[in-house]
Amino acid sequence: MTDRGRPGEKGSSSPRPPAGGGGAKLLLSRLRALMANQAQDPKRLERVVELIANTMVADVCSIYLRSEDESLLLMATQGLRPEAVGRTRMKENEGLVGLVSSTARPLRLTDAFSHPRFSYRPETGEDPFHSFLGVPILRGGRVLGVVVVQNRTERAYDDEEAEALQTVAMVLAELVASAADTLSAGLRQTRPVELRGRAMNEGLASGVVHLYDPVVPPARLFAADPELEERRLNDALEALRNSIDAMLTRAGPVLFGESRDVLETYRLFAHDPSWEARLVEAVRTGLSAEAAVDRVRREHRARLENARDGFLRERLHDLEDLENRLLRQLNGDDGGGRVAPPGAILVASRIGPAELLEYRDAQLAGIALEEAGAGSHAAIVARAMGVPAVGGLTGLVTRAEDGDLMIIDGEGGVVHIRPEAEMMSSFQARVAISEQTQAELSRLRDEPARTTDGVEIDLYINAGLSFDLDHLDAVGAKGVGLFRTEFQFMASETMPGLDEQSQFYKSVIDRAGDRPVTFRTIDLGGDKIAPFMGRREREENPALGWRALRMALDHPFFFRRQLRALIRASRGKTLRLMFPMVATVEEFEAARRLLDSEMEWAVKFGRDLPNRLQVGAMVETPSLAFSIDQLKGKADFLSVGTNDLMQFFFAADRDNARLAGRYDLLSRPAMRLMQRMRQRADEASLPITVCGEAAGRPLEALALIALGYRKLSMQASRIAPVKLLVRSVDMAVLARDVQAVLDGPAPSIRNAMLSVAAGLGLKI
């Protein structure tokens, strides 16, 4: 852009619109009067363009709206040829209008013709118009259309004019949304959309979309009394800041958690003068307080849609969350009580494990997320809830609308929004086949997981919610190999007390009957945040930070309470527990000492006692993987948490959707590590289980048993397929073939493993 068109621009004969925010204000008040009088007038768009052109002293003003085929159709113009209306159509990737639409950002040009994206449309007669200002008409993160002003002269539109047009665009969005005629043709998305992401939990389901955080449009657009609106905005801002400050300084157990980071970021934004200034500015143009917040939020959502940089995305998410909070504040709504109808598919941009747990009783049919990888804790909660889930679906929340029909394919990592009839019937056929397979698999329930040459493999389930225990019988598992106790904490508003904890553990033990349950002591931190978690310094790398056993050891009071609850709940039975994220033998010993002192306390005061105690260490850090010999005589068993172990082994964040699937347990270094650990555990006479997600994947499970693992713990739905495999192999042959793969030159162990499986006649 040249600076020819700056204020006092060369060759411009156009007078300038009023300055100092007055442009938007004047436009808005005229627009308001127009809308009040002619709300359902079929010619209202013509009047709107005329009004904008006159107020902004533009030679042209045009409105393009999205039509059902997603293209942008010229709906009204002042200044271009009237014959072009209803004829000139731009695709998303066509022309400057298409550019504004696809980037969802305003575009200002002094000379539109020299822009590489300029597309000449002779029917419009736009030859004389050099300068161009286009802004998207946004609603719910979606571009409904584009409003453009043009001038003959090569002039530069300033920030204020762009702002004014953006405010108008917001009003236009609501005008379109409330229209019952052709204007709103492109409003409700009707086209089927297929999005590919990553499977987080297997299974097939269909249901209606339930948006986790729907963008609710403001009830009122215009301020009746601008001063009053400004006061309302200021009060809401004040209340918002106070509530964030209160959350940050809330008394109670001073714990850990990334939530502090998030809250700190909220506080920073909430006190940011430029954010406030934007909101106030919007109110001063004549918008209601809600509409002003919404106006700013739309921009952030649109920027988020286009942001590729992870850090920027995070910040935009934070800002959007904050703006949603502010809107709720203005609506007097505390945000609680969100319920999904039974059988719905929960759709969210991102969701933490604790928020997801709020839906544990909602009978969801599936979960679809824009962010989150297969190894994330949201994925683990989805598995615990037993519903198909797909993550990493870019653009999901703007394409899916509340109430849309959706198919979720947790096998292929795909979702279909508004599927066509043929898609739906082929999906139903797949569901029927899968139900049949399930029925066949369930016949294995009472059969042993024994190889053809008589090697027995013990299969356990991973659990964390009490209803998980119902699966024990359904799938015929030996017991619970990993009970994630932190779920109870994540689902509680306040820290569960001793009684609450011990009752919960007792209910789990009772439901398991005589089958063993291995409790993993609390593993919070990283992305696992409990609502009551308070003060914590910002951590650059929370997964590598102060989490799990590390913080438990730093909070012995809190940790001992959990140990006491576990001891009490196991009265007269075996208590099996293990510690997560042990990095050194000393940490294990320190944790064990706390447990011993709790046992002594219970003995001394004649309290309930388990009749047997088995204490294990989770092997989740490479450092502990190389210390197994040192645990001899100190631990009673080991359990390999491959989810964490692999993230640390490969230095690859398990929650990062972009890294999902990039590093493989079925690779030479990881398999060597797994083999070595199993050998060291045998030498130290320590029983060893694998309880990471890998244990439940067929090919990985085969590799693990070939490497000598005899105990695998997995999500309940994986038991039957793994059992079927185990029952089909000859261990001696499998172990020999897998060793040959490991020792051989094969570049891809995964492919070589597939050949091994095929050679054994297995269907993977």
Closer CB to ligand PEP, 124 or 485, in the complex: 485
Of the candidate residues 201, 642, 689, 715, the single one contacting ligand PEP (CB under 6 A): 642
Q: Cβ of residue 691: shortest distance to Mg ion, in angstroms?
A: 9
The token pair at 755 is: 């050949």
CA nearest to 416, candidates 388, 383, 458: 388
Decide if 432 contacts 383 (C-beta within 8 A). Answer: no
239: helix, strand or coil? helix
- 484 sits near ligand PEP (criterion: CB under 6 A): yes
- 380 sits near ligand PEP (criterion: CB under 6 A): yes
* Residue 692, binding choice from Mg ion, ligand PEP, none, Cβ under 5 to 8 Å by partner class: ligand PEP
Decide if 183 contacts 75 (C-beta within 8 A). Answer: yes
Closer CB to ligand PEP, 289 or 582, in the complex: 582
* Residue 484, binding choice from Mg ion, ligand PEP, none, Cβ under 5 to 8 Å by partner class: ligand PEP
- 641 sits near Mg ion (criterion: CB under 5 A): yes
- 545 sits near Mg ion (criterion: CB under 5 A): no
Closer CB to Mg ion, 377 or 506, in the complex: 377
Interface stretch with Mg ion, choices 76-84, 146-154, 637-645, 682-690 (CB under 5 A):
637-645
Buried b (16+ CB within 10 A) or exposed e, 110-125: bbbeeeebeeebeebb
How far is CA 5 from each of CA 12, 62, 119, 384, rounded to the nearest angstrom?
8, 21, 22, 61
Of the candidate residues 158, 320, 620, 655, the single one contacting ligand PEP (CB under 6 A): 620
- 320 sits near Mg ion (criterion: CB under 5 A): no
3-state secondary structure 323-347: HHHHHHHHHCCCCCCCCCCCCCEEE
CA distance 446 to 383: 23
Closer CB to ligand PEP, 175 or 374, in the complex: 374
The token pair at 650 is: 């490969």
- Binding mask 594-633 toward Mg ion (x if CB under 5 A, else -) reads --------------------------x-------------
CA distance 179 to 185: 9
Closer CB to ligand PEP, 56 or 374, in the complex: 374
Decide if 257 contacts 534 (C-beta within 8 A). Answer: yes
CA nearest to 510, candidates 564, 571, 459, 601: 571
Instruction: Name the residues annotated as catalytic.
Output: 377, 691
- Binding mask 82-121 toward Mg ion (x if CB under 5 A, else -) reads ----------------------------------------
Interface stretch with ligand PEP, choices 297-305, 386-394, 591-599, 636-644 (CB under 6 A):
636-644
Q: What is the DSSP string of 359-401?
A: TTTS--SEEEESS--TTSHHHHHHHHHT--EEE--TTHHHH--
Q: What is the DSSP string of 280-307?
A: HHHHHTTB-HHHHHHHHHHHHHHHHHH-
Q: Cβ of residue 343: shortest distance to ligand PEP, in angstroms?
A: 28
- 644 sits near ligand PEP (criterion: CB under 6 A): yes
Q: Cβ of residue 247: shortest distance to Mg ion, in angstroms?
A: 27
Decide if 522 contacts 561 (C-beta within 8 A). Answer: no
Using Cβ positions, the residue closest to ligand PEP within the complex turns out to be 641
The token pair at 39 is: 């709300």
Closer CB to ligand PEP, 601 or 663, in the complex: 663
Closer CB to ligand PEP, 636 or 644, in the complex: 644
* Residue 627, binding choice from ligand PEP, Mg ion, none, Cβ under 5 to 8 Å by partner class: none
Which residue shows structure tokens 């004649």?
Answer: 606
Q: Cβ of residue 484: shortest distance to Mg ion, in angstroms?
A: 9
Using Cβ positions, the residue closest to Mg ion within the complex turns out to be 644
Q: Cβ of residue 520: shortest distance to ligand PEP, in angstroms?
A: 7
Residue type, 351: I
- 329 sits near ligand PEP (criterion: CB under 6 A): no
Closer CB to Mg ion, 413 or 692, in the complex: 692
* Residue 482, binding choice from Mg ion, ligand PEP, none, Cβ under 5 to 8 Å by partner class: ligand PEP
CA distance 594 to 103: 57
**DSSP run (H or E) holding 726:** helix 719-726
The token pair at 325 is: 């909070």
- 615 sits near ligand PEP (criterion: CB under 6 A): no
Of the candidate residues 327, 691, 716, 726, the single one contacting ligand PEP (CB under 6 A): 691
The token pair at 292 is: 């002003």
Of the candidate residues 644, 655, 700, 737, the single one contacting Mg ion (CB under 5 A): 644
Interface stretch with ligand PEP, choices 333-341, 445-453, 567-575, 641-649 (CB under 6 A):
641-649
By CB under 5 A, the count of residues binding Mg ion is: 3
CA distance 174 to 92: 22
Count the neighbouring beta carbons within 10 Å of the beta carbon of residue 154.
21
- Cα 219–220–224 angle (5° rounding)? 155
Closer CB to Mg ion, 444 or 543, in the complex: 543
Residue type, 691: C
Residue type, 432: A
Q: Cβ of residue 260: shortest distance to ligand PEP, in angstroms?
A: 21
CA distance 66 to 184: 9
Q: Cβ of residue 689: shortest distance to Mg ion, in angstroms?
A: 13
CA distance 561 to 298: 47
Decide if 761 contacts 728 (C-beta within 8 A). Answer: yes
Q: Cβ of residue 642: shortest distance to ligand PEP, in angstroms?
A: 5
Closer CB to Mg ion, 644 or 693, in the complex: 644
By CB under 6 A, the count of residues binding ligand PEP is: 11
The token pair at 584 is: 């050194």
**Residues engaged in binding Mg ion (CB under 5 A):** 620, 641, 644
**Residues engaged in binding ligand PEP (CB under 6 A):** 380, 482, 484, 523, 620, 641-644, 691-692
